[in-house]
Structure 1
Amino acid sequence: MVDASLPETAPRSAWSRLLRRKLALLGLFLIAVTVLGALLAPYLTKFRPDEQLFDGLTLEGAPLPPGGDFLLGTDLLGRDLLTRILYGARTSLVIGVAANGLALIIGTLVGVTAGYFRGWIGSVLMRFTDLMMAFPALLLAICLAAIFQPSLWIVALVIALVNWVQTARVIYTETTSLAEREFIAAERAIGAGHGRILFLHILPHLMPMIIVWGTLGISTTVLLEATLSYLGIGVQPPTPSWGNIIFENQTYFQAAPWLVFFPGIAILLLALSFNLVGDALRDVLDPTQRGRD
């Protein structure tokens, strides 16, 4: 039998502390609902996202309000709004995870390299990072998206190219601090190579920060994707995206407010959920917070 007096492992302890936070549980629940809705969309609705229904409009050609066979109503083309939101969740999640993952990899590589080697390598990398930070992220994303032919993966790439700089700056600061610690100096003294120090000592200490920034970054990515799609340079119709759903139906906002309200709420809740989980992870994984729960 396992001795109950033995301390919990770090991952298990962090997970148990995370589950004691009500806001984190709310965020995890909202994320789970969104993921399940996106994966099970074909089974949750009998309509296709691009299907224009004969009974999806009033006799005057106006969208139907929520109720009956259309729980969230229909849009101006007679398409079921719930179906488009469910399939639009796939777009937001795929771009959110893919773009943020790539941005995290780029930012971590730049930050760790600059913070560990420093010298001219660090100066060049961080001056380039400062240059990228000088451009407004949205404006730079609009320029890049306008150059390339918009598609799901191009949008993900564009978002990644403008979102890595904050991660690089934070990782650089932490790596610079770690590189000056005594245990790193001891590793160098016994002849450990750069690869051993980076992968066995630097990166493990950075993992909590990377996890937190990865979680928080998804909310930023979701909002940026919705903004680009709303401006018409993101994911293109008929592929549903929460941003282009709002764009397509904004002219009916006063007559049919649900066409903007429901996708707007979906964007808000998904971004909020990742922020809640990210904030909780930051507290849970921060050693200075231990013992305060």
Structure 2
Amino acid sequence: MNPRFKKAFGNLVVGTALVAVVLILIVTVFAPWIAPFDPAEQFFDGLTMEGMPLPPNHTYWLGTDLLGRDLFSRLVFGARTSLLIGLVANGIAVGIGSFLGIAAGYAGGPVATLINRFTDLMMAFPALLLAIALAAIFTPSLWIVALVIAMVNWVWVARVVYSQTASLRKSEFIEAVRSLGARWPRILFVHILPHLVPTMLIWATLGISTTVLLEATLSFLGIGVRPPTPSWGGIIFECQSYFIDAPWLVFFPGIAILSVALAFNILGDALRDALDPTQRGKS
């Protein structure tokens, strides 16, 4: 193993985060086989005689929600929803941001000015308010929520990729390649893009935690993924009025959101240390 990877990933905290990410991916892929019940099924014995959710027990491991549905099954399928949105939204954001950043950094001049001013304009709006506005315009669904989140997250990737591309374009080895007669496609795809891949991978990992948190926020505000599709933020939104009487309905999805966000952040930091040692120790 590369010594930098061994050092970055060779501690207990990063190892635990890596195990957590692997587990959440397994849960996402095998959700239908892991969940003991249909997440949308309302059980006759899923509520008390007073109509209250059941606490964790031997049948419903994490209790039931306000409609008598198994909370564990909804969390398992909610992991699929939340992580799918995180992966799709962050993939789109990294793609758009990288494309615009590379275009601005390599072209320079009016192209860079136009793209950078547009990026500044997008950064001027608070991400959450912009996401709320976009989600209010479009009919919320899983794919629309992913697209809305991508539209507010690409700006940070574009800014970082732009600065690196502009720096590489002026470097001596690029000038040497250009003096040998290499045309821009070869310069861009063979000599510049490989240097940008580590940055893209780092942002692709770190951004997942941001998108998962933003999706949970939108769902909690009622403008995210629509019921009956389960999502972690949606579960908290549906059950917030039971916070005192049935705290497990908020506690378990909250722990899931926090754990996934923390795991991807730790993994992203470790990946940054391994791929970009000049940034080691910075946050």
Give the aligned partner of residue 260 of structure 1.
Answer: 250
| Structure-2-length-normalised TM-score | 0.96
Q: Distance in 1 between matches of 2:40 and 2:164?
A: 48
Which of 122, 142, 146 is the aligned partner of 1:152? 142
The Cα shift of 1:197 comes to 0.7
Alpha carbons of structure 1 residues 227 and 289: separation in structure 2 relative to 1, 3 Å: closer
Q: Distance in 1 between matches of 2:29 and 2:57?
A: 24
Q: Distance in 1 between matches of 2:214 and 2:221?
A: 11
The answer as to 2:115 corresponding to 1:90 is no
The answer as to 2:237 corresponding to 1:247 is yes
Which of 225, 234, 237 is the aligned partner of 1:235? 225
Q: Distance in 1 between matches of 2:203 and 2:143?
A: 22
Q: Distance in 2 between matches of 1:82 and 1:199?
A: 47
Cα RMSD over matched residues?
1.3
Which of 110, 120, 123 is the aligned partner of 2:100? 110
| Structure-1-length-normalised TM-score | 0.93
* Runs of at least 5 residues in structure 1 that lack an aligned partner in the other structure: 1-7
Is contact 1:23-1:277 (8 Å) kept? Answer: no
Equivalenced residues, count: 280
The Cα shift of 1:285 comes to 1.0
Is contact 1:21-1:280 (8 Å) kept? Answer: no
The Cα shift of 1:176 comes to 1.1
The answer as to 2:143 corresponding to 1:161 is no
Which of 35, 40, 45 is the aligned partner of 2:25? 35
The Cα shift of 1:23 comes to 2.0
Q: Sequence identity of aligned pairs in percent?
A: 62
Q: Distance in 2 between matches of 1:255 and 1:227?
A: 23
Taking the TM superposition and a 5 Å limit, the aligned residue runs for 1:215-226 are 215-226=205-216
Taking the TM superposition and a 5 Å limit, the aligned residue runs for 1:1-293 are 12-288=2-278
Is contact 1:231-1:247 (8 Å) kept? Answer: yes
Deviations 1:239-289 (A, max 9, x none): 000011000000000000000000000000000000000011111112437
Give the aligned residue type for 2:127. Answer: A
The Cα shift of 1:15 comes to 4.0
Q: Distance in 2 between matches of 1:227 and 1:288?
A: 34
Is contact 2:4-2:273 (8 Å) kept? Answer: no
Is contact 2:35-2:77 (8 Å) kept? Answer: no
Q: Distance in 2 between matches of 1:50 and 1:233?
A: 20
Q: Distance in 2 between matches of 1:203 and 1:24?
A: 28
Give the aligned partner of residue 4 of structure 1.
Answer: none
Give the aligned partner of residue 5 of structure 1.
Answer: none
Q: Distance in 2 between matches of 1:99 and 1:288?
A: 28
Is contact 1:66-1:74 (8 Å) kept? Answer: yes
Alpha carbons of structure 1 residues 116 and 289: separation in structure 2 relative to 1, 3 Å: closer
Is contact 2:53-2:68 (8 Å) kept? Answer: yes
